[in-house]
Structure 1
């Protein structure tokens, strides 16, 4: 099921979040951060995240654009029992394949629901695009599915996370992304921005960013460095720490 990466390029990924409730602000998306952290640990770069409404045209358009660009596309949301759960139909349309009740999915649902409980609404969760592999769901039994490089998962975080545990070992990744954080206590971003840019330019292969946040003690600045090359990351981190220590000494003087 996994697509092998081309050459030495790391695997890439996108997340497509589907649901009116996300765009309306009623529900907060926590799935993207979970997927991003999960993928970083197995060496897959999350490059893009999009949110689209429960609209088939919008889902198909976004899906076709993303699946052509990235190694993997993860979708979350829209595979439940209600009328607005249209993700499976949109995926089938994007791939130009038929969709219908899958006997494998029906068998999984019967592990949870009695014959009387497995009504037409619940049977909607067994509609799977032709040619897709099922993703087991240990929480509620209603499966996700995987077709080509598109991995379709539930929007409910606990269920999505259970599905990632099934999907993760089958992904083709690379070396994990290593991360170092340098605290810039008492030093404003404007004081180190130019020197930080020099450090970034001198360490190609290291992603360098500065991230301010507000705490009860005031503004807190952190410099975050990421790389797959441990030696290069160590060099850049040491340069950033030396720079901050020098500026802190100047401020103290």
Structure 2
């Protein structure tokens, strides 16, 4: 019987849009998706931002979808000429694309038939073989094809789509994070000892995070891991290191 841990479920995010790269629109989706995935036991490994250029989108989709369990995209599925994400994803996975009757019916829940012009119908163009992702807010759906999840860029709509698609995703063991206060100990004082502890516990992620607070400078050390025993062992060693260094300062 193997003692090997199950392979982690991994993900990447591809943010699409000139408005993000120009700074006109400030991204609010990356942090939300990252936290959502972490709470689901999915490791977010990479984030990319690309312009509204077909070649760039196709290349990024193909690079990321083959590297990770899931690829989440945001942006570029609206009614205007520069909303080309659906076409690019279809090209990347090698399928055709056209108006999907299911998606068209969803749009008609919100739009009168006489108002469903060619521009609005662009939002119903779905790659062949894709599953739709419901959008309870504006009705224009996202979609999932193979391991690529295509969602809107508007944060409230994207968040609703995440809730819709989440039950279809594989998940892994959740990561537990614990914070250890290092007080006003400088990072340089404990960096070497922390490196030794990190090397001794390869299954635990250890990070040091300085900050300025109203009370003054402080450091926090965060340990993350899926195995409670390994996490507890690393925490005990870190606390012992900090206690020894504090004692040496007094």
Same fold (TM over 0.5): yes
- The answer as to whether partners of 1:135 and 1:166 remain within 8 angstroms in 2 is yes
- The answer as to whether partners of 1:134 and 1:146 remain within 8 angstroms in 2 is yes
- How far is the alpha carbon of 1:114 from its aligned partner? 1.0
- How far is the alpha carbon of 1:33 from its aligned partner? 1.4
Could you say which structure has the greater relative contact order, defined with CA pairs below 8 angstroms and 6 or more residues apart? 1
Equivalent residue pairs, number:
246
Return the alpha-carbon distance in structure 2 between the equivalents of residues 244 and 34 of structure 1: 33
Return the alpha-carbon distance in structure 1 between the equivalents of residues 37 and 242 of structure 2: 31
Q: Which runs of 5+ in 2 are unaligned?
A: none
TM-score normalized with structure 2 length: 0.94
Which of 117, 124, 127 is residue 115 of structure 2 equivalent to? 117
Partner in structure 2 of residue 211 of structure 1: 209
1:41 aligned onto 2:39: yes
Q: Which runs of 5+ in 1 are unaligned?
A: 1-6
Partner in structure 2 of residue 80 of structure 1: 78
5 Å matches for 1:231-246?
231-246=229-244
Return the alpha-carbon distance in structure 2 between the equivalents of residues 72 and 164 of structure 1: 13
5 Å matches for 1:29-108?
29-108=27-106
Return the alpha-carbon distance in structure 2 between the equivalents of residues 135 and 72 of structure 1: 15
Which of 19, 22, 33 is residue 20 of structure 2 equivalent to? 22
- How far is the alpha carbon of 1:175 from its aligned partner? 0.8
CA RMSD, 1 decimal: 1.3
> Aligned to 1:8, what secondary structure does the other structure show?
coil
Partner in structure 2 of residue 3 of structure 1: none
Deviations 1:94-119 (A, max 9, x none): 11211111110010011111123322
1:202 aligned onto 2:207: no
> Aligned to 1:172, what secondary structure does the other structure show?
coil
- The answer as to whether partners of 1:186 and 1:248 remain within 8 angstroms in 2 is no
Which of 124, 138, 142 is residue 136 of structure 2 equivalent to? 138
Deviations 1:106-150 (A, max 9, x none): 100111111233222211100101111100011111100000010
Partner in structure 1 of residue 170 of structure 2: 172
Return the alpha-carbon distance in structure 1 between the equivalents of residues 247 and 111 of structure 2: 67
